[in-house]
Structure 1
């Protein structure tokens, strides 16, 4: 009997502690709502200033074990220059907050880790999201469960409900079988982990010729682990995989991509930002024809972190101000011109620190071979120039230290690709192969005639190097002004046809197709 009383006493004590803790948590959450909303608005302004969105909250109702509140996202602009939300429109999230230290929502998942709160979030049916409710059969298409730690860190599981929308009159259809997202962030939102999975999306519509077009995406996955650098730049690792993307026109295959993989990694050390972007594609098919596979590797090194942050902030603010300019609001061409001018004006900031960029390689392969393009560029900070540029060469030298590029085209590979191009246009295989052979050999002869390419080991080659006012084009050295006159300015310097090997002279007349496609 005595042991029973002790056990009951322990249970009662735990209940009192839990109840008291839950009450204090609810009170603490209510007290900090203004601060939390201010932090969210600061992040919106920092990451998407052009969105002109602002978060607020209403109807906070605190209970003993749970509370409810409505988070409201609205336009901060009083004019209709915001393409996301118009004045008066709002996106509302209904929040149900289970108080810690052991939120009921987490206990249902057998998660016994003490937490400040567990939050269930879902959309409210307002005008901007009305369509989303229709295609999700009256439910909020987004359902979020978030655990809030006592440190302020958050772990969110986002569920995207299946959706299906169709319009018989227009032929439009959107079908989505749902997806999941997991997002973890520290108390300041500096360190963020993200992974998402979408299994299948189908979008049907009609093109300009009223032909039915269907796009299908399968196996989309994105993983990211990022953090803010000391300069305020988001760096880290990202991985993207796409199992398949296909497009059909009138039920005929037009395009198929298979196994697209992308990875990027960026880091910052002593205010120097470096990283690389790596993409591979296992298969590309057009109209059922196999066009091969490719890869791309880009490396960026020694970018000045503070200058990059300044560029990002300055450029985004200027573009944001531009969207409010009545002179460009209804003139897309003028808007694009102004944006280009802003980009050019701010671009010197990115060259601070003498950064470098390389492509090693951009390549494309098929069963007959591989073609590739490699590039290495070392920039200069234009602010370090000792005197104003007086010539074109000086202008280039103020921003460019060195340039080294090489293009190598396998003639066998190119002939195979052009054969498939011709087959998509209606030629039979033999005719397509003959036409492709003529085209590639004609291209090689033309390139040599105008000193654009050389030929070696059945490859078409172009090399170009630059350093300190001197250009080396396919092994021939010349001043920059001579190079520009010959190749860029149409001066015609030394662009006389050269004597060609006998077999190449025989190819040139065949450059034009002599065969016709089959009906």
Structure 2
């Protein structure tokens, strides 16, 4: 048999297998698409606490691809301003069948996959404003690849658009991000990048974000909340008024990390906000960061808190527009939530640590605030002292401040130059007078120590004793020495 005949036979065999597999994939998709959509809809409705109706329409199955429209009907029980009861969100979905989806082959990816789906919005009454802003294009598009093991890989694109509302406008030059999810949908990773965003408002105020990046790795815990790490970085944020520079932030970033202990009983989390530099009206104020560190929070208590918090969020979304704008109504709801979970969240005596630091050309200041809750089930009677009540709530609370005097004067000087339009010389003189006055007052009351022209405060309360700058005393002794400053209650 000639080699050419063998080659032709192999090609024909591969074609038959590919065609047969693609036909089978399409057949299975047609048979199961309603089941999958109904399950996703039920899961989403459960999480939102409101009923959602999703319907598969106009299903057309081909040999190598299928097409259908996913219609997401109005959500009952949720008040969304501007959305009518007869409007629905619709998605165009084109699916290329496996084992070698044509869309993947067209992009140079020759690896086999179960299917590849392209999603885009349908231009209807509800989405028309979004399409108008994107010059007739679907404002968002996505390609989702389904692997044979059940995992998915998605590439999502937000197209350039411009939107106007009354005296404001938003110009968006587009964004893209990639999301991977495992078959069980309990582990995700993502990364993306946004291009230039310009927001213009009243009084000729404009904010420009040249670009930002974001990434994360998340895992679902046995308690139905996610742990992992996330990060968001802004190239810069520039604010102008009437075309003139007003403020600029460079190197602004947000990061967060959370994980469970080895026995899955404790949650540890850390978050950080940082800015490399801040300038206002040409005055450089330096840069700094705020870090929150949370350790040994009881995982079950946190899960219960998040469950009720999510329920509160659902109630808020379903509330009337008047309630949504009522700050007192919202505050009372939050207070009730915290009161209901305060004692449970103290289980295991979690620690909370804040670090606030700021640096300019004259030095660096740092403020540490630490707190550890007390997990006590003692019943206190009416005769219990205020100190006993306090000790039933916390193990300790402490604060440390390090503030170079020259740095404080520099910040005050630049603030006065901006706010009061003072000259640098007069602003420095007034700032120096004000800072030195406060330092002198603090020294007189022995609230601070001054070393190498740096103000320091170190105060800690624990189990009935206050230690201020190395001097330990009872709460009563502190009151006697510092008068009103000694009142903890």
The TM-score with structure 2 as length reference comes to: 0.90
In structure 2, the residue matched to 1:145 is 143
Q: Are the aligned partners of 1:118 and 1:145 in contact in 2 as well (CA < 8 Å)?
A: yes
Please state whether the residue corresponding to 1:395 is helix, strand or coil. Answer: helix
Q: Are the aligned partners of 1:315 and 1:346 in contact in 2 as well (CA < 8 Å)?
A: no
Q: What is the count of residue pairs matched by the alignment?
A: 481
Q: C-alpha deviations, 1:211-250, integer Å up to 9, x for none?
A: 2100001220001011112222211111221110011111
Which residue of the other structure, out of 162, 165, 180, is the alignment partner of 1:164? 162
Question: 1:454-473 counterparts in 2 under 5 A?
Answer: 454-473=449-468
Q: 1:290 to 1:99 in 2, by over 3 A?
A: same
Q: Are the aligned partners of 2:50 and 2:75 in contact in 1 as well (CA < 8 Å)?
A: no
Q: Are the aligned partners of 2:121 and 2:138 in contact in 1 as well (CA < 8 Å)?
A: yes
In structure 2, the residue matched to 1:379 is 373
Gaps of 5+ in 1: 495-519
Q: 1:86 to 1:218 in 2, by over 3 A?
A: same
In structure 2, the residue matched to 1:500 is none
Q: C-alpha deviations, 1:112-164, integer Å up to 9, x for none?
A: 11111110111111333322111110000111111111111111111111113
Q: 1:84 to 1:53 in 2, by over 3 A?
A: farther
Cα offset, 1:194, TM superposition: 0.7
In structure 1, the residue matched to 2:71 is 72
Question: 1:402-417 counterparts in 2 under 5 A?
Answer: 402-417=396-411
Q: Are the aligned partners of 1:50 and 1:316 in contact in 2 as well (CA < 8 Å)?
A: no
Q: 1:491 to 1:363 in 2, by over 3 A?
A: closer
Q: C-alpha deviations, 1:171-220, integer Å up to 9, x for none?
A: 433222111111111122211111110121001110xxxx2100001220
CA distance in 2: counterparts of 1:345 and 1:457, whole angstroms: 48
CA distance in 2: counterparts of 1:380 and 1:15, whole angstroms: 70
Which residue of the other structure, out of 192, 208, 216, is the alignment partner of 2:208? 216
Which residue of the other structure, out of 267, 278, 281, is the alignment partner of 1:284? 278
Which residue of the other structure, out of 233, 251, 255, is the alignment partner of 2:247? 255
Q: 1:199 to 1:386 in 2, by over 3 A?
A: same
Question: 1:299-314 counterparts in 2 under 5 A?
Answer: 299-314=293-308
Which residue of the other structure, out of 226, 230, 241, is the alignment partner of 1:238? 230
Q: Are the aligned partners of 2:79 and 2:319 in contact in 1 as well (CA < 8 Å)?
A: no
Which residue of the other structure, out of 311, 334, 338, is the alignment partner of 2:333? 338
Q: C-alpha deviations, 1:388-423, integer Å up to 9, x for none?
A: 363432332223112221012111001011111111
CA distance in 2: counterparts of 1:132 and 1:277, whole angstroms: 34
Q: C-alpha deviations, 1:404-455, integer Å up to 9, x for none?
A: 2101211100101111111112111111111110111122223345554343
**1:352 partnered with 2:350:** no
When structure 1 is superposed on structure 2, of 184-193 and 348-357 the one drifting more is 348-357
In structure 2, the residue matched to 1:498 is none
Which residue of the other structure, out of 187, 198, 201, is the alignment partner of 1:205? 201
**1:435 partnered with 2:434:** no
When structure 1 is superposed on structure 2, of 252-261 and 284-293 the one drifting more is 252-261
Q: 1:138 to 1:297 in 2, by over 3 A?
A: same
CA distance in 1: counterparts of 2:129 and 2:64, whole angstroms: 34
In structure 1, the residue matched to 2:97 is 99
Q: 1:84 to 1:348 in 2, by over 3 A?
A: farther
In structure 2, the residue matched to 1:61 is 60
In structure 1, the residue matched to 2:116 is 118
CA distance in 2: counterparts of 1:288 and 1:52, whole angstroms: 53
Please state whether the residue corresponding to 2:186 is helix, strand or coil. Answer: coil
Please state whether the residue corresponding to 1:353 is helix, strand or coil. Answer: coil
CA distance in 2: counterparts of 1:59 and 1:482, whole angstroms: 80
CA distance in 1: counterparts of 2:167 and 2:317, whole angstroms: 34
CA distance in 1: counterparts of 2:104 and 2:143, whole angstroms: 9
In structure 2, the residue matched to 1:514 is none
Gaps of 5+ in 2: none
Q: 1:223 to 1:448 in 2, by over 3 A?
A: same
Cα offset, 1:81, TM superposition: 2.8
Q: 1:149 to 1:458 in 2, by over 3 A?
A: same
